[in-house]
Amino acid sequence: MTATDTHCPYCALQCGMTLTPQVPGVKLEPRDFPVNKGGLCAKGFTAADLLDHRDRLLTPLVRKGNGLREATWDEALDRIVEAITHSQSRYGRDSVGAFGGGGLTNEKAYALGKFVRVSLKSASIDYNGRFCMSSAATAANRSLGVDRGLPFPLEDVAQAKTVLLVGANPADAMPPSMQYLDAGRENGARHIVVDPRRTNTAAGAHLHLQPLPGTDLALANGLLHIAVREGYVDEDYVRERTTGFEAVRTATNSYWPERVERMTGVPETRLRETVRLLATQGPAMILTARGAEQHSNGTDTAQAYLNLALALGLVGKPFSGYGTITGQGNGQGGREHGQKADQLPGYRKLDDPAARAHVAEVWGIDPDELPGPGQSAYEMLDQLGEKVRVLMVLASNIAVSAPNSNRVLRKLKDLDFLVVSDIFLSETAELADVVLPTAQWAEEEGTMTNLEGRVIRRKRALPPPPDVRTDLEVLAELSRRLGREESSDPRTVFEELRRASAGGIADYAGITYERIEAEDGVFWPCPAEDHPGTPRLFADGFPTPSGKARMIPVVHRDPAEMPDRQFPYVLTTGRNMQQYQSGNQTRRVKALTVALPEPRAELHPDLARRHGIADGDLVELRSRRGAAVLRARLSDGIRPDTVFAPFHWPGANALTNPALDPHSRMPAFKACAVAISCLKDG
Ligand code: SF4
């Protein structure tokens, strides 16, 4: 049996592992790859369970009345093509759309964007990364001229002497990454965690700041205010490497510490200590994640932390800077290659004439044939059955993961035709007219781009089951039936992706499968095969027109929904260590469900006492949009005005607010108003 070096199917760390087929099953062993250095979390260790899982989809399914029945590929594909042609002839090209995912390989993300814009000639495409990274990406693009989650290798984190983690919980989300924080701490580094809960990450930190969800921007502006007043601003850096500081300084004038303490609940002494550490115990870095970004002001919140990092002169210096911790397996690559509503491969803008001309030439079409930007993820879902009438969903379980999920479920049912490609019958697939069984991570070739911007190879360790196809094969076959030939070979698609991305922000032109293999991954931008790749960005300037980073003034806005008498608490959602995303895969892994059989609503004992709730009671959470029943877990590590619910099961997103950030179109997952009551009979 041949051993194959590959990577974990789940999160953006993309830990290295080795798979060896055996009888029965597959042996999975951790591998000494630069990011995980031999470590794996429980999800990674148990990932081989997915490969021969009894729930695996092994043949296409088509709708028959209220159920689904087995079908041949020909019948399933015929039905899809018939639905596409009928809808487009009756309602126009944009009536057929696709919803992609940040778990798709680079090749698939690229092929899906091309399929929609060239074979379908439709503008209707977006993906679940809109619900994940879009706020930080928008802020980084407009401020630094480029969005690469971490603009430095993860190993730099171990060298930083102060790390401010905002809304990030790597101890639960990606445990092997903690070795870098732990190494830093052993060398005297101080870590400050901003989170309304005392997470496992916060528990080990030097300082834990517990702001009210939705006030992270005010906190950042308050920190910058203190930095200005106490003379910590790096004036030389600001003058030489940034623009816009005066406007930012003016915007933070009114964020005096006493006011910020009132707004956020974080004591002034902790604010001052945070600034002192960031400014005087360097090198220092600021890392944000979804807790800060998934808000109706998420872009401005990420910008506020960028402003702070720039004012302190952190960005572009060794073991220092600003970064955002990408979550999904290919959250980074998934947003670079054209499955986003407004983007073309190479992180090019779809409304940029030069970008359109370049990509159209690679695709062999006239630039005028390319559709314009489409709608963002939630906006598209909100109009299913109206503007979009046929939807193809790949690698996404929107029935569970989209905000305001009750409405999204209704809208999915309003569609004329729903196609879902997946490895399991997800909650979304259950609603489909056609379900396509697709190959999974260890059964196909492809590349992923991890949270550091390191392009890595996922390799095929075993063949897919006989009647299962890869997403690339499905897209190529649908294209052929619609009149256009496309390759289904990952290597051929990657070669085309290299040409399409050449000269763009995310330039893969110099990256080959062989180099990835030989060099343990290659960091973009890498414009030529003799270019070493770029592990660290910004050492010599920023890819903005002026070469300087833009500081942009931002001010606090209350969350789109505030607590009131009817809904007196703030709900915030997040992750558990044992689960990944909507749980479509990890909820089927026995060892993970034994460790955590059900979701728990975390609440403070004071709040619980007010409502007669004991640990383990079933509670009902209600928002203006829906209700969810969960078992209570009491913890004095959460704010007494806040309730936490994990999003890996159906329920939490029935409550969440789809109010969108005006810049990134990110929904407000991390703060909405809820009421709670105890279901004693549970
Ligand atoms: Fe997989 Fe992420 Fe766990 Fe690593 S940290 S084993 S990539 S889920």
Domain assignments of the chain as residue spans, ordered by start: 4-50, 61-131+332-447+456-489, 137-324, 569-679
Task: For residue 333, give the nearest of 513, 457, 489, 486 by alpha carbon.
Answer: 457
Residue 291 DSSP SS3: helix
Alpha-carbon gap, residue 183 to 503, rounded angstroms: 37
Confidence of residue 440 (pLDDT cuts 50, 70, 90): very high
Over range 272-292, report the average pLDDT. 97
pLDDT in tens, 63-110: 999 999 999 999 999 999 999 999 999 999 999 999 999 999 999 999
Return the CATH number of 61-131+332-447+456-489, one of 3.40.250.10, 1.10.599.10, 3.90.1170.50, 3.40.50.740. Answer: 3.40.50.740
Q: Is the pLDDT of residue 681 over 70?
A: no
CA atoms within 13 A on the CB side of 250: 6
Nearest CA to ligand 1 atom 4: 15
Does 44 sit in the ligand 1 pocket, CB within 6 Å?
yes
Q: Is the pLDDT of residue 618 over 60?
A: yes
**Is the bond preceding 465 in cis, omega lying within 30 degrees of 0?**
no
- Check residue 665 and give its pLDDT: 95
- Characterize 251-276 residue by residue with b for buried, 16 or more Cβ atoms within 10 angstroms of its Cβ, and e for exposed: bbeebebeebbebbbbebebbbbbbe
Alpha-carbon gap, residue 80 to 429, rounded angstroms: 15
Q: Which fold has domain 4-50?
A: N-terminal domain of TfIIb (2.20.25)
Task: For residue 458, give the nearest of 107, 85, 160 by alpha carbon.
Answer: 107
Mutate to test the pocket of ligand 1, among 174, 441, 450 (most ligand atoms within 8 A of CB): 174
- Check residue 680 and give its pLDDT: 73
Return the CATH number of 137-324, one of 3.20.20.110, 3.40.50.10860, 3.50.50.60, 3.40.228.10. Answer: 3.40.228.10
- Taking domain 569-679, whether its CATH number is 3.40.50.2300 is answered by no
Compute, in angstroms, the gap from residue 15 CA to the centroid of ligand 1. Answer: 6
Q: Is the pLDDT of residue 1 over 80?
A: no
ipTM value: 1.00
Does 40 sit in the ligand 1 pocket, CB within 6 Å?
yes
Nearest CA to ligand 1 atom 1: 44
Q: Tell me the backbone φ, ψ of residue 348, rounded to 5 degrees.
A: -85, 150
pLDDT in tens, 565-579: 999 999 999 999 999
Confidence of residue 133 (pLDDT cuts 50, 70, 90): confident
Over range 363-382, report the average pLDDT. 96
Compute, in angstroms, the gap from residue 326 CA to the centroid of ligand 1. Answer: 12
CA atoms within 13 A on the CB side of 267: 5
pLDDT in tens, 473-513: 999 999 999 999 999 999 999 999 999 999 999 999 999 99
Compute, in angstroms, the gap from residue 13 CA to the centroid of ligand 1. Answer: 6
